Amino acid sequence: MMLPSFDAFRAQMAEMLELAPGDLSADAPLMDQGLDSMRAMNLAMQWEEEGVPLDFADLAEAQSLAELWALVEERQAS
């Protein structure tokens, strides 16, 4: 399966948070940037469709976009 690039991944998150991709900080807490449970849920469902190895709990736990991306890479590797 084709996993997204970090840029595509960031673009998905930015769209969900109604931000321009450039305005989404990779290191700042996601919740401070507008991520709430419903948006997280929508993302989790979208990623499940696309085969991105993240679930809702990952989104709920992760502090930042960078941390999430690290999880993707780690799982991709295993």
Rounded to whole angstroms, the maximal C-alpha distance in the chain is: 32
Task: Tell me whether residue 61 or residue 73 sits nearer to other proteins (CB atom).
Answer: 61
**What do you get for the CA distance between the two ends of the chain, in Å?**
14
In angstroms, give the least distance from the CB of 36 to other proteins. 5
* Binding positions for other proteins, 14-53, rule CB under 8 A: 18, 29-31, 34-42, 44-45
In angstroms, give the least distance from the CB of 7 to other proteins. 23
In angstroms, give the least distance from the CB of 9 to other proteins. 19
Structure tokens at 11: 């673009």
d(CA 59, CA 31): 10
